[in-house]
């Protein structure tokens, strides 16, 4: 029998995860990229890894501006947000060859937003057969890659795109 050890998830599952003071998406850009898991910085938005991913490669795109919904963004920020979602899809295809994606925003607590005051778009790579009983019964996600390996896989690909 194989054992899956994910002790780093226990504080999250028990609601004891450390939270920054202030808005997570406002604080992250002030941290070093690797610590914050920021893989790309644009002029008005940035891309970071989700520290508690649904699958490996789970990215989020957030504006620097503290706004709650898409209609609160100016035209330039909206355009960059969509451009970074598109860029992220291409990079995830290159790095992981997913068979599909879930892309979306949970706007408002009723819609499932964990952080409802700061808009962010989730990009989740998906593969056939990537769901199993662990999430439903065990309340645990199986992520086959360490977070620093995911960061090291994706950051150079974003950097290469910047150089073009």
For 68-116, the pLDDT digits (tens) are 999 999 999 999 999 999 999 999 999 999 999 999 998 888 877 788 8
Q: Domain spans of the chain?
A: 24-163
pTM of the model: 0.80
- Cα separation, 93 vs 90, in Å, equals 5
* 57, pLDDT greater than 80: yes
Q: Quick one: CATH architecture of 24-163? A: 2-Layer Sandwich (3.30)
* Catalytic residue flag (residue 120): yes
Cβ partners under 8 Å of residue 132, min gap 6:
142
pLDDT band at 145 (very low <50, low <70, confident <90, very high): confident
Per the residue annotation, which of 40, 58, 118, 120 is the catalytic one? 120
């Amino acid at each position: 029998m194989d054992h899956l050890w994910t002790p780093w998830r226990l504080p999250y599952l028990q609601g004891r995860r450390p939270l920054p003071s202030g808005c997570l998406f406002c604080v992250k850009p002030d941290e070093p990229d690797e610590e914050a898991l920021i893989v790309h910085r644009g002029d008005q938005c940035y891309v970071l890894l989700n520290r508690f991913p649904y699958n490996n490669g789970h990215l989020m795109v957030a504006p620097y501006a503290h706004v709650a919904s898409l209609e609160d963004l100016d035209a330039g920020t909206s355009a960059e947000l969509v451009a970074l979602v598109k860029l992220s899809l291409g990079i995830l295809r290159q790095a992981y060859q997913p068979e599909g994606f879930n892309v979306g925003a949970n706007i408002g607590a009723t819609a499932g937003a964990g952080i409802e005051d700061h808009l962010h778009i989730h990009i989740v790579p998906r593969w056939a057969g990537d769901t199993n009983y662990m999430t439903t019964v065990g309340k645990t996600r199986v992520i086959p890659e360490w977070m620093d390996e995911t960061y090291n896989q994706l950051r150079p690909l974003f950097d290469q795109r910047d150089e073009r």
